């Protein structure tokens, strides 16, 4: 039986966090990277985007953790503890985390990524107007840019199609101008 099928059976074809039945996928709990039933969850798209910090946290969505905190499934306990920790500024989340009990190995796993020390704030790629950027978006340059190490001069108003987000730096994207892939600072572009 595949991991996804095992998780679907375990979760009754629902997100193991919020019980949604829409767009379910396997989420491997960091720091584990293998898809194994004991290290994974079945989650909906919204939970996945917020777990992976590709969308801002919606505390109303995570009110479901008040129920999932009682789950006997260890990966569910780990993710619940991590998310409650990220939402600890909300009174309901602080109360829930005070009530939650994890045995020592499970708590060590929950703390392993250090994610619990982060606030609920999520750093996202944003253009000069504060709009969220995604892979594949089209953007327009808001300033003429000289490209280092090249004779290329990217003019104000140039459209850059199909951008790629730089994973470790929310202030940079990659895009092609005149056939050359360059890194562009997000403060010099707007969503097109």
Per-residue pLDDT tens for 110-144? 998 876 676 656 778 889 998 888 899 999 999 99
Query: Do 48 and 92 fall within a single domain?
Result: yes
pLDDT tens digits for 52-83? 888 888 999 999 999 999 999 999 999 999 99
Tell the residue number behind the tokens 């019980």, with chain if given. 19
pTM equals 0.70
Q: Is residue 125 part of a domain?
A: no
Q: Is residue 164 part of a domain?
A: yes
Residue 115 burial by Cβ neighbours in a 10 Å radius (0-12, 13-18, 19+): middle
The number of beta carbons lying within 10 Å of the beta carbon of residue 175 is 22
Domain extent at residue 145:
139-191
Q: Is residue 124 part of a domain?
A: no
| pLDDT bracket for residue 33 (50, 70, 90) | low
The total number of structural domains that make up the chain? 2
Of 61, 62, 186, 31, nearest in space to 124 by CA? 186
In three-state secondary structure terms, 39 is helix
The number of beta carbons lying within 10 Å of the beta carbon of residue 40 is 21
């Amino acid at each position: 039986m595949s991991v996804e099928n095992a998780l679907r059976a375990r979760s009754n074809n629902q997100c193991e966090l919020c019980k949604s039945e829409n767009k379910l996928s396997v989420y491997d709990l960091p720091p584990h990277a293998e898809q194994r039933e004991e290290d994974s969850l079945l989650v909906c798209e919204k939970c996945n985007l917020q777990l992976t910090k590709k969308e801002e946290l919606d505390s109303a969505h995570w009110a479901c953790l008040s129920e999932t905190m009682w789950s006997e499934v260890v990966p569910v306990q780990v993710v619940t503890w991590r998310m409650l920790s990220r939402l600890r500024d909300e009174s309901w989340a602080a109360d829930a985390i005070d009530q939650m009990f994890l045995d020592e190995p499970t708590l060590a796993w929950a703390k392993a990524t250090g994610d619990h020390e982060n606030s609920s704030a999520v750093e996202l790629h944003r253009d000069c107007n504060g709009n969220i950027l995604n892979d594949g978006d089209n953007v327009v340059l808001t300033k003429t840019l000289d490209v280092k190490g090249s004779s290329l001069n990217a003019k104000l108003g140039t459209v850059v199609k199909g951008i790629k987000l730089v994973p470790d730096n929310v202030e940079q994207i990659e895009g092609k101008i005149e056939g050359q892939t360059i890194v562009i600072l997000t403060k010099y572009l707007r969503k097109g």
